[in-house]
Amino acid sequence: MTSPPEYAPPADAAPPPSCELCRAAGRARARAHMAGSPEGVAEATEVIRSHPHGAGDQR
C-alpha cells in the first residue's frame, strides 16, 4: 500500500476549454501532480489563476 501524497492538487483553478494557454497549463499541472511535484502543480495553477480566462472568470 502506498501512502497518500503530501499535497492535493487545487480543485478551484479549472482551465476553461476555450483557452489554449490555460488548457496547456492544466496538462502541465496534471503531469506535475503525477510526478509528485508540488512546485510544478503550484506553478501551473498560478498560470491558470492569473490568466484572464482562468480561475479569475470563475470566482
pLDDT digits (tens, 9 = 90+) for 20-46: 999 999 999 999 999 999 999 999 999
Q: What are 13's three cell numbers? A: 483553478
Annotated domain spans of the chain: 20-57
The pTM score is 0.67
Write down the pLDDT at residue 34: 95
3-state secondary structure of 28: helix
pLDDT at 56 over 50: no
First-to-last alpha carbon distance for the chain, in angstroms, is 37
- Contact status, residue 12 vs residue 54, Cβ threshold 8 Å: no
Q: What are 39's three cell numbers? A: 512546485
